[in-house]
Amino acid sequence: MLTLENLKTFCAAHDIPAFRAKQIMQAVFQEGAESFSDISTLSAPLKKLLEEKAGAGAPELQISTVKPTAQEVSSDNSTVKILFELPDGATIEGVLMRFNDGRRTVCISSEVGCPLKCKFCASGTLRFKRSLTWEEMADQVMYFSRYLKRQKEELNHVVYMGIGEPFRNYTNLMKSLQTIMDPQYIGLGARKITVSTAGIADKIKQFADEPFQVNLALSLHAPTQELREKIMPIALRFKLPELMEAVDYYIKTTKRRISFEYVMLKGVNDSAECAHQLAKLIKGMLCHVNLIPYNATDIEEMKGSEKQTIREFQDILNEAGIPATTRVSLGQDIAAACGQLANKAQKPVTSAIPSYKNAPLLKKKLLKK
Ligand code: SAH
């Protein structure tokens, strides 16, 4: 991965003025250059030298460890799903969502395949291969950041909600977070980042003790141990009382709100009784419930709840004094929504990046701030 230090050492070794190191960092991470040849302020011989050394595999000159090999763009251009190839040939997916309110959110993967096998999630049908390195996680974010910069847009949210369980890979997760928050790279604010876990209780506590304000979301999906373990095998390892104790610890320690994710599955966890049980379980906690309409997968047994059912479920929670909203999902038409990531993107990546109709709106908003 490129670092200022590495580039300075490179410059010194090749008799290149040191200021070039900063210029290269700036061009790649702040201006969206995809390669050294893209950097117009560098001389032709320097571009050639950098390209040659990087092409020969010099690790300190690699702009990215993830290579986009296929892409899908939703019909309204709001959502772009990229299939990335990793150095060992494994593939993962990342998604960019451009919301009407100006949010530019990137959803990234943390593992190649997912071993957790939640009964409703397409990523669980992929064979688990390995966890990602911190560079592979951070580079997905940087890729989309560059992509947006070239369209004069700014990435402003990152969610670790793609393929995999981020808390199974805690050390690399932390390093990737530190990297994307580092002003040398994209300097994203901690509050603009959310890590989602299926419920690794001990890691929730460890995360609470971290000295930053990255948000936490917990995929709860059921209000009782009995139901939860039917749809999420991880619940057998971390039982509901232990999980809720970890959540309590998180809230007490950080004094920050936790988000509970709850995917609405028809006839499984969407009854009024479930809503009342959920309200009872989390009443009084500093929290927010995010109801997720189920996104279609190839998993035959799972169907999404009716809109009306979701509304009634939300009403029960709201009436019990629990803040609950229903998530707006983008990218269903290209299987890029929550739980649909399964490495199926087919089209080659083109250099013609589609722009989005609401981009000017975002620019205005950013200027006002
Ligand atoms: N392993 C982490 C992060 C990845 S999943 C976790 O479990 O939180 C991100 C979110 O999408 C989770 O809440 C997951 O349960 C949800 N999800 C999975 N399949 C889905 C589907 N088909 N429709 C909607 N949400 C889904």
Tens of pLDDT, residue by residue over 230-283, are 999 999 999 999 999 999 999 999 999 999 999 999 999 999 999 999 999 999
The pLDDT score that the predictor gives to residue 203 is 98
Q: Which of 338, 340, 341 is the pocket-test mutation for ligand 1 (most atoms within 8 Å of CB)?
A: 338
Told to judge if 11 belongs to the known catalytic residues of this protein, a careful annotator would answer no
CATH of the domain at 296: 3.20.20.70
Confidence of residue 161 (pLDDT cuts 50, 70, 90): very high
Mean pLDDT, the chain, whole residue set: 91
Residue 30's domain is classified under what CATH number? 1.10.150
Q: Are 221 and 232 in contact (CB under 8 A)?
A: yes
For ligand 1, is residue 84 a contact (CB within 6 Å)?
A: no
Closest CA to ligand 1's atom 12: 219
Q: Is 260 in the pocket of ligand 1 (CB under 6 A)?
A: no
User: Does 247 share its domain with 343?
Assistant: yes
d(CA 106, ligand 1 centre) in Å: 15
Q: Residue 348 has which token pair?
A: 């080659």
Please say if the pLDDT value at position 332 is more than 90: no
Contact 286, 251 (CB under 8 A): yes
- Mean pLDDT for 92-120 is 94
Whether ligand 1 lies within 6 angstroms of the CB of 198 is answered as yes
Domain coverage including residue 52: 4-61
Task: Tell me: do 140 and 48 sit in the same domain.
Answer: no
What pLDDT is attached to residue 334? 72
pLDDT of residue 355: 63
228 and 315 part of one domain: yes
Whether the model pTM is above 0.85: yes
Closest residue by CA, ligand 1 atom 18:
339
pLDDT range class, residue 365, cuts 50, 70, 90? very low
Instruction: Let me know whether 92 and 73 are in one domain.
Output: yes
Same domain, 81 and 24: no
Query: Ligand 1 pocket, 305 CB below 6 A?
Result: no
Active-site option among 11, 72, 93, 136: 93
Are 26 and 113 found together in one domain? no
CB of 196 within 6 A of ligand 1: the answer is yes
Give the Cα separation of 76 and 57 in Å (integer).
Answer: 39
Q: How many residues does the chain have?
A: 369
Structural domains of the chain, count: 2
One domain for residues 26 and 90: no
Ligand 1 neighbourhood includes 137 CB (under 6 angstroms): no
Identify the top-confidence range among 5-9, 224-228, 333-337.
224-228
The answer to whether residues 206 and 354 belong to one domain is: yes
Picking from 209, 205, 199, 309, the residue whose alpha carbon sits closest to that of residue 260 is: 199
State the pairing for strand pair 157-160/130-131. Answer: unpaired
Cβ-contact 132, 109 below 8 angstroms: yes
Specify whether 93 is catalytic: yes
Q: Are residues 90 and 45 part of one domain? A: no
**Same domain, yes or no: 18 and 39:** yes
- Looking at the structure, tell me whether residues 260 and 355 fall in a common domain: yes
Specify burial of residue 44 (Cβ count, 10 A radius: 0-12, 13-18, 19+). exposed
**If you average pLDDT over residues 180-185, what whole number do you get?**
95
Write down the pLDDT at residue 76: 86
CA–CA gap between residue 37 and residue 53 (Å, rounded): 13
Domain boundary (61, 78, 105) is at 61
Q: Find out whether the beta carbon of 262 lies less than 6 Å from any atom of ligand 1.
A: no
Provide the pLDDT for residue 110: 97
Whether residue 147 sits in one domain with residue 13: no
What's 296's DSSP letter? P
Tell me the sheet residues that pair with 347: 71
Mutate to test the pocket of ligand 1, among 132, 219, 297 (most ligand atoms within 8 A of CB): 219
Q: Give me the residue label for tokens 């911190």.
A: 134
Of 61, 87, 110, the domain-final residue: 61
User: What mean pLDDT is predicted for residues 18-33?
Assistant: 94
